[in-house]
């Protein structure tokens, strides 16, 4: 039996990232902060769900499967062969870094105001640090852009130079040569996790005290 290499939850969350991040870029530049914050919440939920899925999800989605020690990463970088199914030793760490940087971008946004019309829901708690959060939101965005570029170059290298069918597997779950080692976990479990996170974020955003108005 050829199981999927990437389950539905991993794939759905993955393809949502470039779509939503492109929207965040556009809406951030255009100053459409109401839309920016809604889609930003959805990104926080998507990434937080993926992080939980890294503990309870399908075998290839789990951090314990693909996070390996520094010596394994160095051996891989020195040209060692990777014969496993999912992320290679370097790709595993890249996954965690990308997820964390997107999460930090979303979380810092909650504390930011545009100084004119829009206030993030947690600006009151941000207090005197609010300017720092804004700088972080801006700096982290540059970090994220660099990481996304490296990600695309790395994927392109494996896909076209080394002729591994990475993109097909991330699109369809598996390809003829790349498939999973075991039956994937049920997608409804990931959906339940996402719903719980939606609930928690909703509570946080609605219960947080409003920043005092200066006008």
What are the residues binding ligand HEM (CB under 6 A)?
10, 14, 17-18, 21, 24-25, 28-29, 33, 36-37, 40-41, 43, 50, 87, 91, 95, 98-99, 102, 105-106, 109-110, 112-114, 118, 120, 134, 137-138, 141, 148, 151-152, 155, 166-167, 170
Q: How far is the CB of 39 from ligand HEM (least distance, A)?
A: 8
DSSP per position, the chain:
--B-SS-HHHHHHHHHHHHHHHHHHHHHHHT-HHHHHHHHHHHHHHHHHHHHHHHHS-GGG-HHHH---HHHHHHHHTT----SSS--HHHHHHHHHHHHHHHHHHHHHTT-B-SSS-B-TTHHHHGGGHHHHHHHHHHHHHHHHHHHHHHHHHHHIIIIIS---HHHHHHHS--SS--BSSPPPPHHHHHHHHHHHHHHHHHHHHHSPPPPP--
Tokens at 210, concatenated: 């409003």
Pick the closer one to ligand HEM by CB: 68 or 98: 98
Q: How far is the CB of 8 from ligand HEM (least distance, A)?
A: 12
Pick the closer one to ligand HEM by CB: 91 or 208: 91
Q: How far is the CB of 196 from ligand HEM (least distance, A)?
A: 19
What span, in angstroms and rounded, lies between the C-alpha atoms of 46 and 24?
A: 14
Pick the closer one to ligand HEM by CB: 73 or 167: 167
Q: How far is the CB of 21 from ligand HEM (least distance, A)?
A: 5
Pick the closer one to ligand HEM by CB: 157 or 183: 157
Pick the closer one to ligand HEM by CB: 1 or 116: 116
Q: How far is the CB of 10 from ligand HEM (least distance, A)?
A: 5
What span, in angstroms and rounded, lies between the C-alpha atoms of 63 and 97?
A: 12
- Shortest-Cβ-distance residue relative to ligand HEM: 109
205 in Cβ contact with 121 (< 8 Å): yes
Pick the closer one to ligand HEM by CB: 14 or 196: 14
Q: How far is the CB of 141 from ligand HEM (least distance, A)?
A: 5
């Amino acid at each position: 039996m050829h199981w999927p290499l990437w389950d539905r939850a991993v794939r759905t969350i993955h393809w949502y990232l470039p779509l939503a991040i492109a929207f965040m870029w556009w809406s951030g530049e255009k100053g459409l902060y109401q839309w920016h914050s809604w889609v930003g919440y959805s990104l926080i939920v998507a990434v937080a769900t993926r992080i939980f899925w890294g503990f309870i999800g399908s075998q290839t989605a789990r951090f314990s499967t693909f996070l390996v020690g520094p010596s394994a990463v160095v051996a891989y970088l020195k040209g060692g062969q990777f014969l496993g199914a999912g992320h290679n030793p370097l790709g595993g760490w890249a996954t965690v870094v990308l997820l964390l940087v997107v999460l930090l971008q979303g979380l810092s946004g909650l504390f930011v105001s545009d100084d004119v019309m829009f206030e993030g829901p947690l600006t009151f708690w941000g207090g005197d640090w609010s300017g720092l959060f804004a700088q972080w939101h801006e700096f982290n965005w540059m970090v994220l852009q660099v990481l996304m570029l490296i990600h695309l170059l790395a994927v392109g290298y494996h896909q076209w130079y080394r002729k591994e069918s990475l993109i097909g597997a991330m699109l369809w779950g598996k390809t003829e040569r790349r498939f999973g080692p075991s039956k994937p976990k049920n997608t409804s479990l990931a959906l339940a996790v996402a719903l719980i996170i939606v609930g928690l974020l909703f509570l946080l955003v609605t219960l947080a005290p409003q920043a005092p108005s200066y006008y």
